[in-house]
Amino acid sequence: MDYKTIELFNEGIIIKNVSNFELDHIFECGQCFRWNKQSNGNYIGVVNGTVIEVEKKDTDVKIYNINEKEFNDFWCDYFDLKRDYTAIKEKFQKDPLLKKSVDFGNGIRLLQQEPFELTISFIISSNNRIPMIKRAINNLSKNWGKAIEYKGETYYTFPTVADLEKASIEEIQSCGLGFRSRYVKDSVHRIYTAEVDLEFIKSQDDDICHEELKKLNGIGPKVSDCIMLFSMQKYSAFPVDVWVKRAMQFFYLAPDVSLPKIRTFARDKFENLAGFAQQYLFYYARENNIKIE
C-alpha cells in the first residue's frame, strides 16, 4: 500500500500520505495519452467515461470529481495504489546503472488502463510521435466518443467498441492515423465480432497474452508489450522502442544489439519486474534525450 487513508472534501477525495506518486512522472512517462497538464500543475484526464482532475499537495493527492465509492471500486487500482513501489525501487537501486533512472523518475506508477482503449492507442503509436498519437486519439474520441462537460470545457470519452465499429476507414483516416487506419479498422471489427476477446487474452499468462495480441494486424512485439503492460498487468513485458534501446545500450550493452535480444536480456535480468524497469528507463532516456554515438 502506498497511501494511509482517504478523506473527503467538497469536490472529491484526498488521499493522505501517498508515497511514490509524482504527477509529471506518472503522466509524462509514456504510458498514457489522455492526461494533460494544466497551467496550475494539476492534470486533467478522461478515463472510464469520466473527466477527473488530480492535484498533488505535499504528500497528499487530491482527486476532483470522484467519490469514496468510486475511489475504492476503480481509482485505487487505476493508480496502482495497493502496490509498494518502495520495495520495487529498493531492488532496482542496488543496480548502480538502473539507480540513476529510478531516482530520476522516482514517482512513476504504472496505471491500470482499459484494454480496448490501449490496444487502439498503441496501434496508433507505432512509428509515431507522442503529440501526434495524442491528437489522433483525441480526434477519434471527438467523433465517436461521448461529450462531457467539466469546469465549462467539453471533453470526449474514448469510444466504445460498438461506436468505433460504425466508423469507415476514410473517416478513421481523417483523424490523422495514416497507414494505421486499416489496422485500427480491422482490430475494432475483430474485437466487435468477438473473434478477439481482450478479457480472455488478459486472463492468460504473460507469454500467451503477448502472442495472442500479436495476432492483430498492426501489433508487433513492442506494441504487444505496451498493451499487456499498461492494461493487462503483465509485468514481465519489456517494450523496446528507440528510447529503451538507447537506454539499454547506454547502461548495459554493446551498441548494435537487435531489439529481440535486448528484450530477452532485460526479461532475464529483471524477471517479473521488467515492465517497471522499462518505464524508469524510457522516462529517463526520453526526458534527457540520451544519444548513442
Interface residues with ligand 8HG (CB under 6 A) are 30-31, 125, 128-130, 226, 239, 241, 244, 278, 282
Closest CB 226 distance from ligand 8HG, rounded Å: 6
Closest CB 248 distance from ligand 8HG, rounded Å: 10
Nearer to ligand 8HG, 45 or 239 (CB): 239
CA-angle at 104, arms to 102 and 106, nearest 5°: 55
Closest CB 3 distance from ligand 8HG, rounded Å: 24
Nearer to ligand 8HG, 13 or 224 (CB): 224
Residue 153: beta bridge partners?
150
Closest CB 68 distance from ligand 8HG, rounded Å: 31
3-state secondary structure the chain: CCCCCEEEECCEEEECCCCCCCHHHHHHCCCCCCEEECCCCCEEEEECCEEEEEEEECCEEEEECCCHHHHHHHHHHHCCCCCCHHHHHHHHHCCHHHHHHHHHCCCCCCCCCCHHHHHHHHHHCCCCCHHHHHHHHHHHHHHHCCEEEECCEEEECCCCHHHHHCCCHHHHHHHHHHHHHHHHHHHHHHHHCCCCCHHHHHHCCHHHHHHHHHCCCCCCHHHHHHHHHHHCCCCCCCCCCHHHHHHHHHHCCCCCCCHHHHHHHHHHHHHHHHHHHHHHHHHHHHHCCCCCC
Residue number of the CB closest to ligand 8HG reads 30
Closest CB 233 distance from ligand 8HG, rounded Å: 15
Closest CB 48 distance from ligand 8HG, rounded Å: 20
Nearer to ligand 8HG, 13 or 278 (CB): 278
Nearer to ligand 8HG, 128 or 157 (CB): 128
> What does residue 258 show for φ and ψ, rounded to 5 degrees?
-70, 160
Nearer to ligand 8HG, 64 or 263 (CB): 263
Contact between 171 and 143 under an 8 Å Cβ cutoff? The reply is: yes
Nearer to ligand 8HG, 192 or 251 (CB): 251
Closest CB 175 distance from ligand 8HG, rounded Å: 17
Nearer to ligand 8HG, 113 or 278 (CB): 278
